Chains A and B, each alone.
Chain A
Amino acid sequence: MGTELPLFPVQASTMAGRVDALYLFLIAISVFFGLLIATLVVSFAIRFRRRSRDERPRPIHGSTVLEVTWTLIPLGIVMVVFLWGADVFFAMARVPPASMDIYVVGKRWMWKTQHMTGQREINELHVPLGVPVKLTLTSEDVIHSFFVPAFRMKKDVVPGRYVTTWFQATRPGTYHLFCAEYCGTKHSGMIGTVTVMEPGAFQAWLAGGATGTSLAAAGEKLFQDLACITCHRADSEGRGPRLEGVFGHPVSLASGERVMADEAYIRESIVNPAAKVVAGFQPVMPTYQGLVSEESLMQLVAYIQSLGGPATAGPGTALASPAPATASPAATPRPRGQGR
């Protein structure tokens, strides 16, 4: 807008500065080597231009010293870049504990976001400032990609599985949200905004909206409506494992493996129960694939999460010891029902 020609998006997350720093370093290297080569080529081309038609320069075959030098120096530089880039990437992959959970479903051609308290948004996401936010995403149809340039965050959203990513916003404002994986006709229309608010304003927004039921409460209702409760009884008499206290803990499977009961595990157990059967139980659970939408799945996952288990020890933290539950500063209302 106007005569301004920005070169960078706004830095609005904790990772943005780190990504930009690496970018600037690479620009510096590129400018240096680009100018070096350009200067050498142009100056050699001029200085050694042909003066007479039959001129024959003395042959120069090569120089091992030069070859080694200009192999090792670039190699050293790219190794530095590799390590730096990997470091940033690891930070992006490690979801901090005590993050606020948001569930996102991408579908042609909109983004549906759900807060744990039950707010649903379409093509919008309101988040509080200064709080790590963990996104659990899936797609209902084709591969999409959730991209917020201001956060330097992007993650492909794949049908049939959950992916997670996270950010911590550092600047209030409204930022672009794009779909970054081509998904058909309205790919460039699958855009929206992420709005970062001061904690007080965020609370007001949460309270003011038509909340409806919290995610976990909606999940509890589904749990009963779909008759999950018939087998997954709280009294351990059911044909299925008891689900209280399962979330976020390792589970022993009939195959002898141990896996972490995270969001992806819960979702898989609903749509593909035979894949991982808990030790001591028969593989009798029917599949709910096709009977439950992705959004409903997220509600069920949120409900099971609320049945106990440490705070948001998601796949990003893998099998690290789960952090004790601490209330996050933004104090998002706890789902009613089972406490922690």
Chain B
Amino acid sequence: MTTQIGPGESGPPRPPVPPALTEPPPPRVNYLNVAYGVKSWLLTTDHKRIALLYLAGVTLMFFLGGSFAVLIRLELVTPAGDLVQSETYNKLFTMHGIIMVFFFLIPSIPAVLGNFLIPLMIGARDLAFPRLNLASWYIYMIGAAFTIYTLVSGGVDTGWTFYTPYSTTYSNTHVIAAGLGIFITGFSSILTGLNFIVTIHRMRAPGLTWFRLPLFVWAHYATSLIFVLGTPVIAITLLTVVLERALHLGIYDPRLGGDPVLFQHLFWFYSHPAVYIMILPAMGVISEVVACFSRKRIFGYEVVAMSSLAIAVIGFFVWGHHMFISGQSTYAGLVFSLLSFLVAIPSAIKVFNWTATLYKGSVSYDTPMLYAIGFVGLFTIGGLTGIFLAALGLDVHVTDTYFVVAHFHYIMVGGAIMGYLGGIHFWWPKITGRLYPEMWARVAAVIVFAGFNLTFFPQFILGYLGMPRRYHAYPEEFQVLNVMSSAGASILGLGYLLPMIYLLWSMRYGPRASANPWPAKGLEWQTASPPITENFERQPVVTEEAYAYASEEEARVVERG
């Protein structure tokens, strides 16, 4: 990318800027120090500040949801239900699921990294609707407040899936408050998606055609399609649950002629595409990181971009694979199974393309790249186990067991969260103007990877052996694997705590970062770290393809193999 600096300058592109400075640049006005005070944050319309507001929110919710996971794994060390009562355990896994899905995984990358980076990556001064952006954060926080209220007033125990008629008729817990909390937060997603779609369509810098966009932007565009089309359906579904519970309507109650399985169709119509909301942005991060730390354009750029769209579209038609044994017809099962296999293909294509990017690249092992490589491995395993679940005859045995739990944690934790952490580290210098301590970061990445595998791999075996999900107590023969899993969880927890500590530390004591410490391609790296409020001194004009790490002429190629 060439930034037009001003009337005087011209000539060849600048050479790469060396990383980590010994001399900090003199402090300047940037989006962080342009104004101080609580009001300047709570009434901001700057997408970068809003991203940080979201960062605070999702981090808080992550540790809250994570603490429930700790308790769950502690309970499961022994076969008997002896740490907490059944009612409590049921609330723990429910709240863990609700908080992690709706308040961490869905917003994290889009609302933090997407908000911060999309205007920068496309050369714009802000998103299309900055006040809607701020509103979306307040809506998120209000939804989170409802959820915390649910928690402190006794919790909810329906599972994050709210299956009827248990949730509408039988549960004695705060279903309405929990449902309303998610309902409200859904609007935060919708507004974010709407903002991204309009921004990407209408606010790209001159010369920035669609096929010059970074893959991070493509990924968020595809994600935003799902935000906009899917989220309203979960909203209306939860609303009907709330109404049925409050007014005894009967839409889902068989004693009144209702159909409990109708709920499952409506619920999964959103909640399956929701998992693509959780993974597509992470894939976008991986594309950026792999390109930067191979110093090469992503292999098959156009194919990777189109794969994001394919996943988003096909993903809307596979929801029935959560219901193969729920009472839908065999033929419906066939259709959903077939489509579920098809949706796996674009993801596989991406994995192959990332791998091929490394070939004849110039690979370095900075922390973001460690997370990216870890992602490729863990997402591959998670994705392959999705194939197991898509196979009808096999799904009958493994559905509703720990096999499914392992599968989705591989994708969401081994995939999405590693992508999130990789992205946080990659763009940390841009966001904060500081460098994090590389050694500690690499150690944490390795701990996360090891802890994660020890936690979740045994669960595949547990599931095939027959241990069902959501079990407070279990038969003794499952104990060894459960102990392994819990041991891994403690390591994983440590791996998550470390970044909290050193990232916070770096905000005050980390060395100051230059505009482009890695260095990387992309418009966001052509402006200061941290950027000014308006993002760019002057409107960038784009004249190059994405990831133009080296043209043929200027490459100092070292021939390999």
Asked if A and B touch directly (CB within 8 angstroms), the answer is yes
Q: With A156-B326, A176-B475, A182-B159 in contact, do A61 and B170 touch (Cβ < 8 Å)?
A: no
Which of B300, B395, B474 is the one whose CB lies under 8 Å from A85?
B395
Instruction: Say whether B363 contacts A26, CB under 8 Å.
Output: no
Query: How close is A191's CB to chain B, nearest CB, in angstroms?
Result: 8
Q: A7-B465, A62-B300, A82-B341 are in contact. Are A88 and B327 (CB under 8 A)?
A: no
* Contact A188 to B472, CB < 8 A, known contacts A143-B166, A156-B327: yes
Q: Is B260 an interface residue (CB 8 A)?
A: yes
B9 at the interface (CB under 8 A from A): no
Is A289 interfacial (CB 8 A cutoff)? yes
Q: Assuming A57-B295, A86-B393, A155-B325, is B300 touching A37 (CB within 8 A)? A: no
> In the complex, are the beta carbons of A7 and B254 less than 8 A apart?
no
Which residue of A26, A51, A84 has the most chain B CB atoms within 10 A of its CB atom?
A: A26
Q: Which of B363, B396, B551 contacts A89 (CB 8 A)?
A: B396
A59 near B297 with CB under 8 A, answer yes
Stretch from B221-229, B372-380, B533-541 that touches the partner: B372-380
The verdict on B356 contacting chain A, using a C-beta distance below 8 Å, is yes
Docked pose: A26 CA to B552 CA in angstroms: 43
A201 at the interface (CB under 8 A from B): no
Identify the closest chain B residue to A7 (Cβ). Answer: B461
**B255 at interface by CB-CB < 8 Å:** yes
Which residue of B is nearest A42, CB measured? B373
Q: How many residues from A make CB contacts under 8 Å with B?
A: 93
Binds B, one of A15-23, A226-234, A327-335: A15-23
Task: Point out the residues of chain A lying under 8 angstroms from B334, CB to CB.
Answer: 86
Judged by a CB distance under 8 angstroms, whether B560 is at the interface is: yes
Whether the Cβ atoms of B560 and A92 lie closer than 8 Å is no
Nearest CB in chain A: distance from B368 CB, A: 14
Q: Is the CB of A26 within 8 A of B555?
A: no
Asked whether, in the complex, the Cβ of B550 is within 8 Å of the Cβ of A56, the reply is yes
Query: Min CB distance, B227 to chain A, in Å?
Result: 27
Q: How many residues of B contact A (CB 8 A)?
A: 107
Q: How far is the CA of A42 from the CA of B392 in the complex (A)?
A: 34
Closest Cβ of chain B to A207, distance in Å, is 31
- B488 to chain A minimum Cβ distance, whole angstroms, is 16
Distance between Cα atoms of A300 and B470 in the complex (Å): 35
CB of A212 within 8 Å of the partner chain: no
**Structural contact, B399 and A93, CB atoms closer than 8 A:** no
Instruction: Write the nearest CB–CB distance from B515 to chain A, whole angstroms.
Output: 17
Instruction: List residues of chain A with CB within 8 A of the CB of B16.
Output: 54
Given contacts A158-B326, A160-B260, contact A85 B468 (CB under 8 A): no
A181 to B169, CA, bound (A): 16
Contact of B349 with A37 in the complex, beta carbons under 8 Å: no
The interface bits of chain A over 177-220 (1 if a CB of B lies within 8 angstroms of the residue's CB, else 0) are 01111111111110100000000000000000000000000000
Query: A185 is contacted by which of B90, B344, B362 (Cβ under 8 Å)?
Result: B90
Query: Which residues of A, 115-154, contact B by the 8 Å Cβ criterion?
Result: 141-143, 145, 147, 149-150, 152-154
Known: A26-B388, A48-B362, A62-B299. Is A37-B87 also a contact (CB below 8 A)?
no
Contact with A along B289-320 (1 / 0, CB 8 A): 00000111101111100000000000000000
Does A90 lie within 8 Å of B465, measured CB to CB?
no
